């Protein structure tokens, strides 16, 4: 009995000592479990590891790469806390949507690439399609050769996943090719599908599978790290202080996407000049109570000051795979202020896909 009391007394004494010292023995700067949350501030920057010539450096890539910082624009005028904007402003209720431009088709999916990757793998497993090559960092899966009913030669498919235009979205592209011979050198992937209807049938099948199973979609950590979900579009500021939209798309696709975005943003296209990269439009104003509320927050309770006014929306190529979009007053119309310019471009930006 006395032994129990002795142990209890010692435990009480230790507890008292720990309490009186403020637990510094365990959790203080010199304690056993000190706080290490600030250690990174004293970390030294070390040079990148150099691999010997001829050795692959793939295993030494950054695990958590830091993406380039794209500074957000600060809206002109008195600061007010803005309402949160949706990831995709247009057709947000559509999880999967197939888009086409000429002979090209792709699926726009409202989930990030790291979530779409295992969905496509799930489709291939469910369909019994064997994978011949897989590269999660490049977002590519190649099937083995398939004997398709009614087709004289075997076909194979390449599934390519990349980030979508809008933040948190993905694009799925399918490429089809027919077997040309037994020599692998004869079977390099073509730039365009050999059989476009076959490509589109496969794209529809994958898109339908993804649409039916996005609620339970897992995430691929490798694909999630390798493929950014930040989107290909951003508002930027020119040297003259004007605001413009920068979108990472080739001109042909950006031009077509801009037309739909303008209509979805309640602009009436009155004319267009593709060679000059210009849409001539009239802003119709907010449509519906929900948009009225958004504009009330931005412009006050009055009617939208730019409703019914004509504008020029210009698209200028910035290299081979990017376009800058600007909004200008049409003809002798008065200039609009910077806050109005930013607000209108933000609406268009949210509808480009």
CATH of 233-349, one of 1.20.120.420, 3.30.310.170, 3.30.470.20, 1.10.510.10: 3.30.310.170
pLDDT digits (tens, 9 = 90+) for 158-189: 999 999 999 989 999 999 999 988 777 778 99
Phi, psi of 5 (to 5 degrees): -65, -35
Going from N- to C-terminal start, the domains of the chain cover 96-226, 233-349
Q: Kindly tell me if the per-residue pLDDT of 236 is higher than 90.
A: yes
Counting Cα atoms < 13 Å in the Cβ hemisphere of 327 gives 31
For 304-331, the DSSP string reads: PTTTT-EEEEEEEE-SSS-EEEEEEE-T
pLDDT of residue 215: 67
pLDDT of the residue at 131: 95
Six-digit token string for 322: 């990017």
Banded pLDDT at 217 (limits 50, 70, 90)? low
For residue 131, give the 3-state DSSP assignment: strand
Residues contacting residue 73 through CB under 8 Å, at least 6 positions apart: 235, 236, 237, 243, 342
323 pairs with which residues across the strands?
A: 247, 317
Cα–Cα dist 72/182, whole Å: 53
What average pLDDT does the chain have? Answer: 79
- Distance, in Å, from the CA atom of 154 to the CA atom of 256, rounded to the nearest integer, reads 35
Model's pTM, two decimal places? 0.69
pLDDT range class, residue 134, cuts 50, 70, 90? very high
Q: What is the pLDDT of residue 330?
A: 86
Residue 66 has pLDDT above 70, yes or no: no
Two tokens, residue 97: 């949507």
Instruction: Report pLDDT digits (tens) over 286-345.
Output: 766 555 544 554 555 556 778 888 999 999 999 999 999 999 988 777 777 888 888 899
pLDDT number for residue 333 = 73
Per-residue pLDDT, 285: 84
Helix (H) or strand (E) holding 202: helix 196-213
pLDDT in tens, 141-152: 999 999 988 888
pLDDT of amino acid 262: 96
Fold (topology level) of 96-226: Alpha-D-Glucose-1,6-Bisphosphate; Chain A, domain 4 (3.30.530)
Highest mean pLDDT of the ranges 39-43, 72-76, 252-256: 252-256
Mean predicted confidence (pLDDT) in 263-281:
95
Residue-wise pLDDT for 239-266, tens only, equals: 888 899 999 999 999 999 999 999 999 9
CA distances for 108 relative to 88, 94, 299, angstroms = 11, 9, 33
Integer angstrom CA distances of residue 257 from 61, 129, 253, 332, 349:
35, 33, 6, 28, 11
Map tokens 């439009």 to a residue.
Answer: 281
b or e along 5-28 (b: 16 or more beta carbons within 10 Å of the residue's beta carbon)? eeeeeeeeeeeeeeeeeeeeeeee
Predicted confidence at residue 226, as pLDDT, reads: 58
| CA dist., res. 292 & res. 286, Å (int) | 6
Which tokens hold the place of 47? 């040079």
């Amino acid at each position: 009995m006395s032994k129990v009391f002795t142990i209890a007394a010692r435990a009480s004494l230790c507890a008292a000592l720990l309490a009186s010292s403020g637990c510094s023995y365990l959790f203080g700067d010199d304690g056993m479990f000190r706080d290490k949350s600030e250690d990174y501030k004293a970390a030294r920057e070390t040079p990148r590891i150099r691999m010997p010539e001829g050795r692959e450096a793939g295993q030494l890539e950054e695990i958590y790469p830091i993406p380039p910082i794209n500074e957000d624009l600060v809206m002109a005028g008195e600061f007010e806390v803005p309402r949160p904007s949706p990831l995709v402003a247009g057709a947000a209720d559509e999880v999967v949507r197939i888009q086409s431009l000429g002979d090209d088709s792709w699926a726009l999916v409202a989930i990030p690439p790291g979530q779409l990757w295992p969905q496509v793998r799930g489709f291939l497993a469910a369909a019994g399609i064997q994978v011949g090559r897989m590269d999660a960092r490049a977002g590519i899966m190649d099937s083995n050769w398939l004997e398709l009913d009614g087709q004289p030669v075997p076909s194979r498919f390449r599934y390519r996943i990349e980030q979508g235009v809008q933040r948190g979205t993905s694009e799925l592209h399918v490429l089809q090719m027919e077997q040309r011979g037994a020599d692998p050198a004869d079977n390099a992937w073509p730039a365009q599908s050999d059989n476009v209807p076959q490509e589109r049938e496969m794209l529809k099948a994958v898109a339908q599978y993804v649409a039916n199973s996005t609620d339970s979609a897992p995430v691929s950590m490798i694909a999630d790290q390798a493929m950014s979900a930040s989107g290909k579009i951003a508002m930027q500021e020119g040297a003259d202080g004007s605001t413009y939209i920068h979108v990472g798309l080739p001109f042909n696709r950006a031009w077509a996407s801009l037309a739909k975005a303008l209509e979805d943003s309640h602009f009436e296209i009155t004319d267009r000049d593709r060679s000059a990269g210009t849409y001539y439009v009239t802003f119709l104003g907010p449509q519906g109570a929900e948009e009225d509320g958004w504009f009330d927050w931005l412009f006050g309770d009055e009617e939208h000051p730019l409703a019914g006014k004509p504008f020029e929306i210009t698209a200028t190529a910035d290299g081979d795979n990017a376009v800058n979009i600007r909004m200008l007053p049409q003809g002798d119309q008065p200039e609009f202020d910077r806050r109005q310019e930013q607000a209108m471009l933000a609406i268009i930006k949210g509808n480009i896909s």
